[in-house]
Amino acid sequence: MTTDPLRLSFEIACPRDHAFDVWTKRMDVWWPKGHSTSGDPATVVTLEPRIGGRIYERTSDGTRVDWGEITRWDPPRSLAYLWHIGRELDDATDVELTFVDNGDGTTRLDIVHSGWQRLADGGAYRDANTRGWQSLIPSFTEAACRGGATEAVRP
């Protein structure tokens, strides 16, 4: 199994500013319900929009579970974070998201997910995250393309 960086690109049929805002300000809308550490379908996912901000879930009983920490904040072009969902911060991987304005009202989202070599099970974790990204992005794309609907999006 490889621990090379995972590189993914997705086309999104909306302007870059909107795509960035949906990703960062409306994560609770597009993040699939139950796709969390707790598995609680009523979990709310939050991204604090600043360097040092946290990405976390809040369960229906009020428990907060940290998933990541923002390391770069450059709206609407990019953000990066340490990602440790289901793990300790010491076992975080690195996620970089770049929102590219295609010049025609659409956006390309480039994702680089790296740092697998720091984990004992890095190759297996990389493979699991490959499947995770492939299942997550359709929910985000649907929410961004329909203008940021207010109800939860499920794949």
Residue 105's pLDDT is what? 95
> Which amino acid makes up residue 49?
P
**Per-residue pLDDT of the chain in tens (155 residues, 90 and over written 9):** 788 999 999 999 999 999 999 999 999 899 988 778 888 888 899 999 999 999 999 999 999 999 999 999 999 999 999 999 888 888 999 999 999 999 999 999 999 999 999 988 888 889 888 888 988 999 999 999 985 433 333 32
Map tokens 């979990």 to a residue. Answer: 43
Distance in angstroms (rounded) separating the CA atoms of residues 80 and 90: 17
Residue 42's pLDDT is what? 87
Q: Both tokens of residue 151?
A: 């109800």
Q: Both tokens of residue 140?
A: 């985000």
Going from the C-alpha of 142 to that of each of 51, 96, 101, 148, the distances in angstroms are 27, 21, 18, 9
| Residue ranges covered by each domain of the chain | 6-145
Domain boundaries 6-145, corresponding CATH code: 3.30.530.20
Residue 33's pLDDT is what? 82
Residue 79's pLDDT is what? 98
